[in-house]
Structure 1
Amino acid sequence: MNDARASSGTQRFRFGVVAPITTDLPTWRERVRRIADRGYSTLLMPDVPRWQPAPGPTLAAAAGLADLRVGTWVYASPLRPPWHTAWEAHSLSVLTEGRFELGIGTGRPGIEDELRELGLPVPRPAERLAQVRETVAALRDLDGPEVHTPVTMAVRGPRAQALAAEVADTVTFALTPGDDRAETTRLVRDFHPVRDVELSQHVAVIGDRVAPFMAPPDTDPAELRAMDSLAILPDDPAAAAEEIQRRREEIGFTYFVFGADFAEKLAPVVARLAGK
Structure 2
Amino acid sequence: MTRPFRFGVVAPLMTDVVTWRDRARRIADSGYSTLLVPDFPLTQPAPGPMLATVAASTDLHVGTWVYASPLRPAWMTAWEAHSLSLLTDGRFEMGIGTGRPGIEDELRDKKLPVVPPGERLTQVRETVEALRDLDGPDLHTPVAMAVLGPKARALAAEVADTVTFALGDQPRAEVERLACDFRTAGNVELALAVPVIGDAVAPHMAPPDTDPAALRAADALTVLPDDPAAAIEEIQRRREEIGFSYFVFGADFAETFAPLVAELAGR
> 1:62-211 residue pairs with structure 2 within 5 A?
62-177=54-169, 179-191=170-182, 194=185, 196-211=187-202
- Write the distance in 1 (CA, Å) between the matches of 2:47 and 2:184: 29
Match of 1:215 in 2: 206
CA deviation vs aligned residue, 1:156-204 (integer Å, no higher than 9, x gap): 0111011100000000011133x11111112211447756000000100
Is this contact kept in 1: 2:168–2:222, CA < 8 A? no
In structure 2, do the counterparts of structure 1 residues 192 and 17 end up closer, same or farther at CA, with 3 Å as the change threshold?
closer
One-letter identity of the residue aligned with 2:220: S
- Write the distance in 2 (CA, Å) between the matches of 1:26 and 1:206: 26
Pick the aligned partner of 2:247 from 256, 262, 266.
256
Is this contact kept in 1: 2:94–2:144, CA < 8 A? yes
One-letter identity of the residue aligned with 1:105: G
Q: Matched residues, percent identical?
A: 73
- Write the distance in 2 (CA, Å) between the matches of 1:258 and 1:12: 17
1:49 equivalent in alignment to 2:41: yes
Q: What SS class does the counterpart of residue 145 from structure 1 fall into?
A: helix
> 1:216-231 residue pairs with structure 2 within 5 A?
216-231=207-222
- Write the distance in 2 (CA, Å) between the matches of 1:162 and 1:44: 25
Is this contact kept in 2: 1:165–1:193, CA < 8 A? no
TM-score scaled by length of structure 2? 0.98
- Write the distance in 2 (CA, Å) between the matches of 1:237 and 1:71: 25
Is this contact kept in 1: 2:94–2:143, CA < 8 A? yes
The structure whose residues are more often helix, as a share, is: 2
TM-score scaled by length of structure 1? 0.95
Unaligned stretches of 5+ in structure 1?
A: 1-8
Pick the aligned partner of 2:223 from 232, 237, 243.
232
Taking only aligned residues, the RMSD between alpha carbons, in angstroms, comes to 1.1
Q: What SS class does the counterpart of residue 20 from structure 1 fall into?
A: coil
One-letter identity of the residue aligned with 1:103: G
- Write the distance in 2 (CA, Å) between the matches of 1:69 and 1:191: 24
Unaligned stretches of 5+ in structure 2?
A: none
Is this contact kept in 2: 1:166–1:193, CA < 8 A? no
Pick the aligned partner of 1:270 from 236, 254, 261.
261
**TM superposition outliers: structure 1 runs of 4+ over 2 Å:** 190-195
One-letter identity of the residue aligned with 1:61: T
- Write the distance in 1 (CA, Å) between the matches of 2:228 and 2:186: 33
Is this contact kept in 2: 1:165–1:192, CA < 8 A? no
Number of equivalenced pairs = 267
- Residues 181-190 or 150-159, more deviating: 181-190
